[in-house]
Amino acid sequence: MRLRLWLALAALAGIGTAAAGIGYLHSQGIAPRTLAPYIAKRSSGHNDLITGSGAWVARTLTGLDRGADEPSALPALALGAQPRPAPEAQGMPRHVSTVEELRAAMAAAQPGDVITLAPGNYLVRKKALEARTAGSAAQPIVVRAQHPGSVMIDVTTLEGIVVAGPYWRFENLGLRGVCRNHGDCDHAFHVVGGAHHFTALNNTLVDFNAHFKINGWRGQFPDHGRIEGNTLRNDVARRTRSPVTPIDLVAANDWLIRGNLIADFVKLGGDGISYGAFAKGAGARTVFERNVVLCEQRLRAARGLRVGLSLGGGGTGKPYCRDGRCITEQEEGVIRNNLIASCSDVGIYVNSGARSRIVHNTLLDTAGIDVRFPESSADIEGNLVDGGIRSRNGGQLRSQDNLATPVGLLYLGVHPQRGHFIAPASLDLRWDGEAERRAVSESTPDLCGKARPAQAAYGAFEDFEACLAPR
């Protein structure tokens, strides 16, 4: 009898300790998937028992939070690059069929030129293609393929296309990094200095560290850019110490990043931290809307942290900041109507982002939303978050009318927000029953481009089937 009593008391003490631990982790907003790597790291390098126990705990926590570690097939989406071409460009036609002809046409380009590549494969080596002359608002310079999928530009240089002149537009192209050393294929596009009003439409960019790199140069900044309807992905994890971020936007203002598919940006070298896209460097008014961001769609990696979208990223060195100080990394940034999924860290991260708006996003299989540091302030409204919403290190947030999951439930393997959908792990995001709804006073098109009703569903979309490509 006495033994049974002692066993019961020990069990109760263990349960009490576990409950207290979960309570503390809940109060700090620490999700299991972000605790697991810390435990694995702290237990490594000891004897086999400690190392093995730490690895088991880390795997268990990750499994409770993330579920099955299996890649899923992606349904055909009406977002990202599409087989239909971008609208026909009007201007002076210039036809090229070799890299040399393309390089010469770009060097001699005049406002209104439409440079069309003949179908085929092109190899860029030794030196990047350059777009340095100026187009105009009325007559941009266009580089395009007539039909998506008909042109593939293989890149063996650090940068595929350097854009330094204003009013250039690139559409329907394929660019692929083919460097054996991943550090040698950094960017498909480097948009720099005076390259304001850059546009990229309906391109497919594969196997780069930062598919788009945007930054200032010598006091000029490439403002008013647009990246719309592109597919950015990597077919293999990047073995590099260089930053891995498909859209790496630094110090530029007024960019619109809309309707893109961003997937599989796993970084195996260096600190192992990667982002789907960020805007930082004391820029302002970046809008991320109607994008699908899948941190790990086909690629899986045991190590490293993958973040979906960010205002502020990991911060910026002062020499690269627009104001030379970076008191704030981003002002008046907007993240709205995006689907973000399968991230080993948070889906949305605000780092020194002042007056940010995070509205009507759907986050699945992420650690939620983080707002960090006193310079950050964020209005967070109408989101469906499979994870927590938290501020830390003095971040200021106003969280109003969201569907989120208390972090403590994640340690029990409970994910109520996933229950809204038929099969979220395979991105079958049809509603399982009636969608929960909320009144909205301002309405923007949802993820699928459809108008929202006055009583709108929480999260990014009304009907996910409207986001699927026509069969």
* Residue 352 binned pLDDT confidence (cut-offs 50, 70, 90): very high
Comparing 18-32, 120-134, 241-255, 279-293, the range with the smallest average pLDDT is 18-32
* Residue 13 binned pLDDT confidence (cut-offs 50, 70, 90): very low
Does the model's pTM come out above 0.95? no
What is the rounded CA–CA span in Å between residue 146 and residue 88?
8
Q: Is the pLDDT of residue 15 over 50?
A: no
Strands 455-457 and 353-354: unpaired
Q: What is the pLDDT of residues 90-125, one digit of tens each?
A: 889 999 999 999 999 999 999 999 999 999 999 999
Q: Is the pLDDT of residue 152 over 70?
A: yes
Domain limits, CATH 2.160.20.10, in the chain: 92-467
Q: What is the pLDDT of residues 196-239, one digit of tens each?
A: 999 999 999 999 999 999 999 999 999 999 999 999 999 999 99
Tell me what pLDDT residue 7 has: 36
What is the rounded CA–CA span in Å between residue 118 and residue 96?
6
Q: What is the pLDDT of residues 44-100, one digit of tens each?
A: 655 655 556 667 887 888 888 887 766 677 889 999 999 988 777 788 999 999 999
Please give the DSSP secondary-structure letter assigned to residue 42.
H
Q: What is the mean pLDDT of residues 25-41?
A: 76
Strands 141-145 and 287-289: unpaired
- The pair of three-digit structure tokens given for residue 109, joined into one six-digit string: 């380009």
Tell me what pLDDT residue 349 has: 98
Average pLDDT along the chain: 91
* Residue 19 binned pLDDT confidence (cut-offs 50, 70, 90): low
CA dihedral 389, 392, 395, 398 (to 10 degrees): 30
Q: Is the pLDDT of residue 166 over 60?
A: yes
Per CATH, the homologous superfamily of domain 92-467 is Single-stranded right-handed beta-helix, Pectin lyase-like (2.160.20.10)
Backbone CA torsion sign across 257, 128, 123, 187: negative
SS3 371: strand
